[in-house]
Structure 1
Amino acid sequence: MSRDGLRFWSAVLTFAIFLVDVLTPLEGAVAVLYVIAILLAARTNRRNDIIVAAVGCSVLTIAAYLLSHDVEVVASPALRALMSLAAIGITTLLALQNHSATKRLAAQARLLNLSHDMIFVRDRGGVITFWNRAAEQAYGWSADEAVGQHADALLRTKYFDRREDIETGLLDTGRWEGRLEQRTKAGSALAVDARWALQRDHLGKPVGVLETHTDVTDRVAAHNALVQSEQRYRRMFDASRVGVIEEDWSAVRTALNSLETGDVGLRDYLAANPEFVRHARRLASITDVNPALQKMAGASGSAAFIANVDRLLGENDRSFLGALVAFAEGERFHEGETDLVSFDGRKVPVLFTISFPAEPHGDRNVLAFVIDITERKQAQDALLAAQAELAHAARVATLGEFSASIAHEVNQPLAAIVTSGEAGLRWLRRDVPDLKEVATTIGHIVAQGRRASEIVTRIRTFLKKAPPQQDLLQIDEIIEEATLLIERELVKDDIALIVKMEHGLPPVRGDRIQLQQVLVNLLINAGQAMSGRPGSHTVTLRAGTVDGENLAITVQDSGPGIQPDDLPRLFDPFFTTKDGGMGMGLAICRTTVEAHGGRLSVESPPGSGATFHLTLPFGQELALP
């Protein structure tokens, strides 16, 4: 019934009791029935309604007594009126106390409804007596649907401990906490952290349980995912054949932040202060080493590896400097090569990649991946040896192709020597020998002999099979030597060689013979492309700078050019466009140039012959340790 309805019926009942008390001859304490009207007014839960009803009933009780009895005679009617007034007063007092208690309980219930946790109260039989708003939202049942239901049956509660043990602990201590699994109205499973509090009456008898539940479903899912991820990481860490080191670089970050480099760049400062680099490497503490790296180093365990890390990496290892710079500059990865000194003294060449995580506290989880490249190094050495053998064979074959030119070059100084010798003999056979002319002739003989010796030396050097040398070379000298080797071959085919070089080109670093062979091959190929064809035959060799950092050499011919379909395969081994060609010359040239840090490419516009572009980085003086 609404509040207005309760007020109306309370007023109607009050007026009816008044009429009965005044108009009927009943002698009983009819006014006591006013208590019912006050109780109806109390149902509105309004303090003012209770007071108004009590005052009205008291006034009507007195009025009815005055209208029905003589006020001068104090007899039993007066006592009945006083009893009615006492009953009205006591009922009013109790109603007001109940209203205050109800108000306090309502305030507490409102507080419970404000909680983000699911809260409900059940009696000792497990029947729900209170169900807060968070429980309605989380479980899906309204308070009207939940109250009166058995909690475990409604929520299909799954206990991870024995239910009897939980109840025993609750009765002993008055509290219990643990993890439960419950179901919503829609059937979804919820993981909850439960906190139970036992309520007792004034005699200490258990009367109910307050259950507070916190939904931790997402937290449990995240924890389970984290555990699974950790397990996967551990399996990969332990089972990987790649060496893995887990390190903590937080102390390194602190040391770098406190570093004052002034106007000097960080890399230059670290290069000039190797002591700080060694100190920083010791600050990068190793937290774990996987079995693959332990085996690579010959260590009996991670503890042995960590204890001997300085000896394993070597005191003069410079690879950490680059990693330190990359870490300071915020790069996510750093790669490099170094040698790992195993426990038995072997040097193990390794390729390493350091990963610097970007997330907060990532400095504590720096991973270094290490790969043993011993077999790759051996394969590279074998490949270089085979390449050297093949290059030597190519040089021999090249000289074989222009052996007539070599014979002509050597024959010229020999013929000059013979001519000068005969002239000298004639000067000596005169009646009066002309010693001045003889001396001049002998000088010619010596000069031509030296020329012949230089020709032979140059050819022997070109043919010499020696390991590559990394020297600072003047490119104009290499070009001059290469053109002298093939000059006769070009003249024979009526080919004009035009050389255009910038003045004062910086030196390049590399192997003289290998670079000489590249130019010889390119010039010979240009000459052969035009041999036997009508028209003017011209080979133009240009040397200059590009981008201020690289040497650029171009070899351009005026021949027919290269077919578009052949351009993509021109540098492939064993591919040739010449009858009887081996198909190795250009492949060796490109490999040689790339080994020197350069590039070799070709272009052939229609009607413009072929142009080979060769770039090499300028050489730098080696820094002395």
Structure 2
Amino acid sequence: MTAHDRATGSSMSRAGLRFWSAVLAVAVFLVDVLTPLEGAVAVLYVVAILLAARTNRRNDIIVAATGCALLTVSAYLLSHDLEAIASPAVRAVVSLAAIGIATLLALQNYAATSRLAAQARLLNLSHDMIFVRDRGGVITFWNKAAEQAYGWPAEDAIGRLADDLLQTRYPDRRETIEATLLETGRWEGRVEQRTKAGVALTVDARWALQQNHLGKPIGVLETHTDVTDRVAAHTALVQSEQRYRRMFDASRIGVVEEDWSGLRTALKSLDTGEAGLRDHLARNPDFVRQARRLAKITDVNPALQKMVGANGPSAFIENVDRLLGENDISFLGALVAFAQGEPFYEGETELARLDGSRVPVLFTITFPAAPQGDRNVLAFVVDITERQQAQDALLAAQAELAHAARVATLGELSASIAHEVNQPLAAIVTSGQAGLRWLRRDVPDLNEVAATITHVVSEGRRASEIVTRIRAFLKKTPAQQAVLQIGEIIEEAASLVAHELARDDVVLTIEAEPGLRPVRGDRVQLQQVLVNLLINAGQAMSDQPGARTITLRAGAVDGERLAITVQDSGPGIMPDDLPRLFDPFFTTKDGGMGMGLAICRTTVEAHGGQLSAESTPGAGATFRLTLPYSQEHTPP
């Protein structure tokens, strides 16, 4: 039911109106017929017609009018004859005229009311909030959409001031808006209002001024469209665009925005046949060059402009071909990734500066979802000039370092060889001096001279064998294996270091178990291992006051291995140095080369044994060497 229906039908129902209209018509008839009143009593039938008209039914008006007319004629015929036309007949005609006029007016009113009701129903069907207010701002009509959007039913809204009810906030002064409305008859703008629940709405308002037949303003029709979500989305979009623009302009990474929609079309037109896309493109470089020109640059951030020496984006708003060189192959990979629907492509290339120089860069091209994303392809570019320069400098430094290391290693190896042959050379010198003394006697002792020369020759050969073994070791040549008695190896090593130990007042004690099984190995190499261990032990105690002793023990560990230990009474080894003791070039001695122990461990391991060290600072150091027994002899 519309507001008009509720207003006209609020006092009584349609059935009640029909009943009272009929009662009134009958009452007027009876008064007209039964009473001697001389007057236009039949005019009262107009009231019955007006009652019937309040039902808002056209048929009710016609039925009531017809009935009243029939009752008027009937009353006249019953009260008067038709022989003479006198004043009663005139009154009857007047009554019929009044009934006719009232009927016409009622029907016109019904038609106008129907039109208004139809318009109200249409307004209720609208999705926009529509209400009508008078010139004072009081609401006189409130449609269904307004009820749903604002939360107030029509009964609560009608009769209220619109601005107070909706707490409307205007974009301009209210007086200015009203002046525009009165001048043009219309006004449009965006206002903010609140619902019954207090929720803020943003609406697009359209006002239309209603005027009477004299052109006087009588009301305003307001149509409102809720654009809250649209405004919020637009605001978010604007903020996002501003945020993107700030990042785009402030980024220190070069960013290029490109339009690849033309590329999409060109790729779809390709007929690659049985060959893959990459192979097809590789065989058609002309298409790749054309594709580079189709990748339009739409924007370039300041970082990239600076990178290539440009003063603005206008130098780039053409195509990718301006940035890349003629022989650049990175675009081919990007083109394949784009055609295959990859989300991004990474690579390394060079950009052409405006002055003709080249800038090495790393880049990542992102491909948003097609097809809308084809117009927003982003390329992120990082200048790696400094990194490349640093890498070139690093490579040069590494080359220099490698050369220096080779030179140093050569020097260390030379020193190590000199260290290893020092003992036989010292023995040769000693023997040569002894031979000269025997020859300078008044009666030379030729036998002693011969023995001395023999010793010189033996030591010379031993020095040569040491050099040969070291060269073989450096070439990873297999050692010369032989069955050896460990007691003989120990005696020979002790005799070789006897002179040097005696010079440092070091006492060597040898404790070897009798009947030790032989081992298999290289005599010279094993001699040098023991010589190095004994020399190192003696040098460790060279600056130590008091007794200086070295104890060399040899004994069986189990049925498969032989153990030799070299224990000194020196200061020992620091705990931090123990893990690195056998590393090449690590030394704890002033002027040491750090090669002796490393060569010793490698030599022992080449013989299938192990070499380890243990020490308690202040209580000396102990080196333990284990070797497997030779399998060619069984124990007695």
Fold shared per TM-score above 0.5: yes
Answering whether residue 286 of structure 2 is matched by residue 275 of structure 1, we say yes
Task: Return closer, same or farther for 1:210/1:127 CA change in 2, 3 Å cut-off.
Answer: same
Distance 1:277 1:169 in 2: 62
Partner of 2:345: 334
Distance 2:412 2:162 in 1: 101
For the 8 Å contact 2:345–2:365, the answer to whether it is kept is yes
**1:126 aligned counterpart, secondary structure:** coil
For the 8 Å contact 2:142–2:158, the answer to whether it is kept is yes
Out of 52, 57, 63, the residue aligned to residue 46 of structure 1 is 57
Task: Return closer, same or farther for 1:249/1:492 CA change in 2, 3 Å cut-off.
Answer: farther
Answering whether residue 187 of structure 2 is matched by residue 198 of structure 1, we say no
Distance 2:347 2:364 in 1: 7
Distance 2:47 2:186 in 1: 43
For the 8 Å contact 2:293–2:320, the answer to whether it is kept is no
Task: Return closer, same or farther for 1:118/1:78 CA change in 2, 3 Å cut-off.
Answer: same
Answering whether residue 80 of structure 2 is matched by residue 69 of structure 1, we say yes
For the 8 Å contact 1:37–1:53, the answer to whether it is kept is yes
Partner of 1:5: 16
Distance 1:308 1:269 in 2: 23
Deviation of 1:356 after TM superposition, in Å, equals 0.8
Distance 1:92 1:214 in 2: 42
Task: Return closer, same or farther for 1:311/1:205 CA change in 2, 3 Å cut-off.
Answer: closer
Distance 2:82 2:318 in 1: 112
Letter in 1 for 2:20: W
Deviation of 1:103 after TM superposition, in Å, equals 1.1
Task: Return closer, same or farther for 1:162/1:178 CA change in 2, 3 Å cut-off.
Answer: same
Distance 1:218 1:242 in 2: 35
For the 8 Å contact 1:402–1:486, the answer to whether it is kept is no
**2:477 aligned counterpart, secondary structure:** helix
Out of 131, 151, 157, the residue aligned to residue 140 of structure 1 is 151
For the 8 Å contact 1:317–1:338, the answer to whether it is kept is yes
Out of 278, 281, 287, the residue aligned to residue 298 of structure 2 is 287
Partner of 1:581: 583
Task: Return closer, same or farther for 1:311/1:83 CA change in 2, 3 Å cut-off.
Answer: closer
Task: Return closer, same or farther for 1:315/1:367 CA change in 2, 3 Å cut-off.
Answer: same
Answering whether residue 490 of structure 2 is matched by residue 488 of structure 1, we say no
For the 8 Å contact 1:402–1:489, the answer to whether it is kept is no
Distance 1:491 1:278 in 2: 69
1:467-616 residue pairs with structure 2 within 5 A?
Answer: 487-488=476-477, 579-581=581-583
Deviation of 1:215 after TM superposition, in Å, equals 1.1
Aligned length: 433
Answering whether residue 273 of structure 2 is matched by residue 262 of structure 1, we say yes
TM-score, with length taken from structure 2:
0.62
Distance 2:225 2:482 in 1: 96
Distance 1:491 1:33 in 2: 151
Answering whether residue 48 of structure 2 is matched by residue 37 of structure 1, we say yes
Task: Return closer, same or farther for 1:583/1:25 CA change in 2, 3 Å cut-off.
Answer: farther
1:120-135 residue pairs with structure 2 within 5 A?
Answer: 120-135=131-146
Deviation of 1:216 after TM superposition, in Å, equals 1.0
Distance 1:188 1:370 in 2: 47
Letter in 1 for 2:361: V
Distance 2:270 2:163 in 1: 64
1:227-242 residue pairs with structure 2 within 5 A?
Answer: 227-242=238-253
Distance 1:491 1:292 in 2: 70
1:150-189 residue pairs with structure 2 within 5 A?
Answer: 150-189=161-200
**Residues 272-281 or 38-47, more deviating:** 272-281
Answering whether residue 26 of structure 2 is matched by residue 26 of structure 1, we say no
Distance 2:386 2:482 in 1: 48
**1:116 aligned counterpart, secondary structure:** coil
Distance 2:308 2:55 in 1: 86
RMSD of the alignment, in Å? 3.5
Task: Return closer, same or farther for 1:577/1:53 CA change in 2, 3 Å cut-off.
Answer: farther
Answering whether residue 70 of structure 2 is matched by residue 59 of structure 1, we say yes
Distance 1:583 1:283 in 2: 63
Letter in 1 for 2:28: I
Deviation of 1:105 after TM superposition, in Å, equals 1.5
Q: Deviations over 1:378-434 (max 9, x none)?
A: 343444455556667887899999999x99xxxxxxxxxxxxxxxxxxxxxxxxxxx
Out of 342, 352, 364, the residue aligned to residue 363 of structure 2 is 352
Task: Return closer, same or farther for 1:329/1:307 CA change in 2, 3 Å cut-off.
Answer: closer
Deviation of 1:236 after TM superposition, in Å, equals 0.4
Task: Return closer, same or farther for 1:74/1:369 CA change in 2, 3 Å cut-off.
Answer: same
Deviation of 1:174 after TM superposition, in Å, equals 2.1
Sequence identity percentage: 77
Task: Return closer, same or farther for 1:179/1:14 CA change in 2, 3 Å cut-off.
Answer: same
Partner of 2:102: 91
Task: Return closer, same or farther for 1:583/1:115 CA change in 2, 3 Å cut-off.
Answer: farther
Deviation of 1:75 after TM superposition, in Å, equals 2.1
**Residues 246-255 or 181-190, more deviating:** 181-190
Q: Deviations over 1:510-567 (max 9, x none)?
A: xxxxxxxxxxxxxxxxxxxxxx9xxxxxxxxxxxxxxxxxxxxxxxxxxxxxxxxxxx
Distance 1:359 1:43 in 2: 66
**Residues 366-375 or 77-86, more deviating:** 77-86
Task: Return closer, same or farther for 1:342/1:490 CA change in 2, 3 Å cut-off.
Answer: farther
Which structure: larger Rg?
Answer: 2
Q: Deviations over 1:115-137 (max 9, x none)?
A: 11112222222222222211111
Deviation of 1:179 after TM superposition, in Å, equals 1.5
Q: Deviations over 1:206-249 (max 9, x none)?
A: 22222221111111111111110110001000100111001111
1:429-440 residue pairs with structure 2 within 5 A?
Answer: none
1:304-383 residue pairs with structure 2 within 5 A?
Answer: 304-306=315-317, 310=321, 312-358=323-369, 360-383=371-394
**Residues 79-88 or 372-381, more deviating:** 372-381
Task: Return closer, same or farther for 1:582/1:54 CA change in 2, 3 Å cut-off.
Answer: farther
**Residues 191-200 or 337-346, more deviating:** 337-346
**1:153 aligned counterpart, secondary structure:** helix
Uncovered stretches (5+) of structure 1, i.e. residues with no partner: 408-455, 460-482, 495-531, 533-575, 585-625
**Residues 277-286 or 142-151, more deviating:** 142-151
Distance 2:42 2:119 in 1: 37
Task: Return closer, same or farther for 1:73/1:316 CA change in 2, 3 Å cut-off.
Answer: same
For the 8 Å contact 2:135–2:219, the answer to whether it is kept is yes
